[in-house]
Chain A
Amino acid sequence: DTEVTQTPKHLVMGMTNKKSLKCEQHMGHRAMYWYKQKAKKPPELMFVYSYEKLSINESVPSRFSPECPNSSLLNLHLHALQPEDSALYLCASSQVGTKSDTQYFGPGTRLTVL
């Protein structure tokens, strides 16, 4: 099973709302990733969790707050977002520490901030 699931598929929120994106994998992967993708652009790395610890924060504004409650789950908490944060948010997972690790991506959450 190489599936990464993400919920919800679509999310519309106002600038004062608080919402969360969820990501789940059951491949035993110990690294999980959040990417942001704007239209016609490649995915941009936001956060990396390795063994449930945050190992990379690519200078992401604090209105995005990641959480990794266990090795299978990854959340992205959203608060006070701006319209320019509207994008496709992708989650991925991979093994750790092997020479040739493939990242498996979920289908993404399409976020619209009004």
Chain B
Amino acid sequence: DAKTTQPPSMDCAEGRAANLPCNHSTISGNEYVYWYRQIHSQGPQYIIHGLKNNETNEMASLIITEDRKSSTLILPHATLRDTAVYYCIVRVAFRLRNQFYFGTGTSLTVIP
């Protein structure tokens, strides 16, 4: 019951911006979009999340379309350490928990 679709892999030149797309066409109005990344066999690391508005933090920017059916994670100046699998996630909130629906992930390779 994946709620997101992502391209399986992408390459990016070191120092350039990496733009990772995600489709979530069935997202509901109160469901957040989260992005995590996972460097080989480590635990997933939180990057950023948003509901409607674009968001920016020290790691990345998140651009969400006005209809909320898709989003793009932007790493402004990719480094070799950004090579990882990036997961786009729809978070559904229930009364006593939240539940993440992981996409299949995009394997980003940053090339020197």
Q: Which residues of A contact B (CB under 8 A)?
A: 4, 6, 31, 41-43, 45, 48, 50-51, 55-56, 88, 90, 92, 94, 96-97, 99-108, 110
Contact = CB atoms under 8 A, between A and B. Distances in A.
A102 B43 contact: no
Given A42-B104, A100-B32, A102-B46, A48 B41 contact: no
Closest 7 A-B residue pairs measured CB to CB?
A105-B43, A42-B102, A50-B96, A107-B43, A50-B97, A105-B44, A31-B97
10 contacts: A31-B98, A45-B99, A90-B43, A94-B97, A97-B96, A100-B32, A102-B49, A106-B43, A107-B43, A108-B43
Contacts of B103: 42
Contacts of A110: 41
Q: What range describes how many residues of B lie at the interface?
A: 20 to 34
B81 interface: no
Given A42-B87, A45-B99, A48-B99, A99 B93 contact: yes
Contacts of B49: 100, 102
Given A31-B96, A108-B42, 9 more contacts: A6-B43, A42-B87, A50-B97, A55-B97, A94-B97, A99-B30, A102-B34, A107-B43, A108-B41
A88 B38 CA distance: 12
Given A48-B99, A96-B96, A96-B97, A42 B46 contact: no
B87 A94 contact: no
A76 B98 CA distance: 20
B97 A56 contact: yes
A99 B91 CA distance: 10
B106 to A, nearest CB: 11
A48 B96 CA distance: 10
B93 to A, nearest CB: 7
